[in-house]
Structure 1
Amino acid sequence: MNSNDRVLVIAAHPDDEVLGCGGTIARYRAEGCDVRVVFMAEGITARFSPSEFDTDAVKEKSAKRNADALEAMTVLGVNTDQVFLSERHCCRLDQVPLIELTKQIEDHIREFSPTHMFTHAPDDPNIDHVTVHKAVLPAIRPIKGQHLRGVFAFEVLSSTEWNPLKPYAPTVFQDITDSITQKIAAMQKYESEIHPPPHPRSPEVLQALARFRGAQAGLDYAEGFVLIRGINL
C-alpha cells in the first residue's frame, strides 16, 4: 500500500462497500490513495413490489439510502465526486444484459486507471452480488495497458455467509486495526440497515468478524479477501 495506489470498488448496493471493505478503504485513504466507489444498483426496491417502485414512499427511501452512502463515504474519507450511484432496481441486475454492466465497469477502469479493485465474491447467494462478480470478470481481462495489480473479492455480512455449501474462505488479509472504528461509524450512517445483535449488520457482529479475520492472520482486526488475480503483489 502506497500513495500511488488507486482503488476501485465495484459494489452492488450502498452498504456493500462498507461491509465488504470499509476498513480497507479507510486505510487507503489515510495513505493518500485515490479511491472510487461505484454502485451498480440501488438498495431498496427488493423490499417492494414493482407496482410500488414509482410511489413517493419508495422513491424517498431510495434517495435516503443514496444520501446515507455519501455520508458513509465521507466517514471513510472518500471524496463524494468519486462515488457513483445507480437507479437500477435492487436484486434485478440479472435482468440487465451482462454486457451493459461490464461496459460500465470497463469505462471506470479506463477512466480511473485503478491499481487495485475490490468486488463481490462468486458464491454469494444475493443475485445482484453474484451478477456484479460475473460482470467484473470480463472487464478485468488482462489486456495491454491495464494497470490492475490486484483484484480481490470481499464478503458481505448478511449475505455471503448464507451459503453454507461454499463458505467464504479468505486468502488475503488487510490490517484494519486503525480503521475498524471508521468502518463501524460508516456503517451506522446507513440508518435503515444497522440492527442490534445478533443481526449480522450490527456493530457488535461487524467488530466480531473483524476480530476473527484478524485472528486468522495474527492481527487485532482485519478484513479478509479472496485474491482473484494478482501481479507483482
Structure 2
Amino acid sequence: MLNNTLNKILFKNNVIKKTAVLAVVTSLFLVGCGNDQNFKREVEGNEDYLKSPALKPLIIPEGTTIPAESNEFFVNTTEVHGDLGKKLDIRPPTLPISTIQEAFAIYNNGSVTFNVPLSSNVWEQIPNSLNKRNILIASHDSNTIQTGKSFMVRADEEQAVEASYSIKRQLLGDTETITILITSLTRGTENLISQPVEVQRYIVGLFNDIMNDVAPDSMRIVPAKAQDKNDEEKNKPESKKTATAVSDEDQK
C-alpha cells in the first residue's frame, strides 16, 4: 500500500521537479525571515476591540413592521476560547523544503515523508546532522534512528521545547523513502503532542535543518542575474566586432 502511494506521488512530482528545484533555491533565502521574534505575534496596534461590549437583544417597539428574519445576517455569539490579541501566535505553518534534485518531501498527519535517490547519501548524513544540533541518538541501525529527548531551541520561541524523534528508512528501487515522526514534545510541564501546529513546526523544522546540512554546494550558490549574464556576453572579445568601411558604391 505504501509503495503504491509513493509511486503515485513520485509520478505526479516528476512533472514539476525542474520548477520545484528553482523554487527551493528561492526559498532557502527566505528561511531566515521566520526566525524574527517580532513576526511571532502582533506587536503593534491597540486591543480596544477586545473590550467591545457583548451584543444585546434587539428590542422592537410594538406595532413596528420589520423584515423577515434571514440566516444570512445571523451574528454568531459563541464564546471564543484561547489566546487573543497580542497573545495570539500568527506564524504560518512550516513547510518542508527539499534541497536535493530528483527528490520530493510532503508533510501529512504528523510526519514528513521524503523520497530521494540513493546516490545522494542522505541517510548516511543524518546522524552527523543530529549530533551537530546536540540531539542524542538513542539507537541506530541501517533503517531506523531513535533519538532521546533533546532540547530544540528556536529563535522565535522564548522557551525551548524538549522533543524526541523516530526516523525510518525504506528502500524503493534506486531511491530511499525517509519518514520523520515525533514521539514526544513538551514545553516545561505542558504536553504539546496533541497540538498539530506545534507538532508540524518541530517535525518540519528538524527536516529542513537536515536538508540544509545535506544540500549540495550547487544549491548554495546565488544564481547570477540575467542582466549580469548579458553584460558578460557583451564584454566577451568575440562579441565585439570591428567596424567595416562602407564604400560609396555600397551606400547607393
TM-score of Structure 1 vs Structure 2, range by shorter chain: under 0.3
Instruction: Please give the TM-score of this superposition, normalised by the length of structure 1.
Output: 0.22
Determine which structure has greater relative contact order: mean sequence separation of CA pairs < 8 Å that are 6+ residues apart, divided by chain length.
Answer: 1
Q: Which has the larger Rg? A: 2
Instruction: Please give the TM-score of this superposition, normalised by the length of structure 2.
Output: 0.21
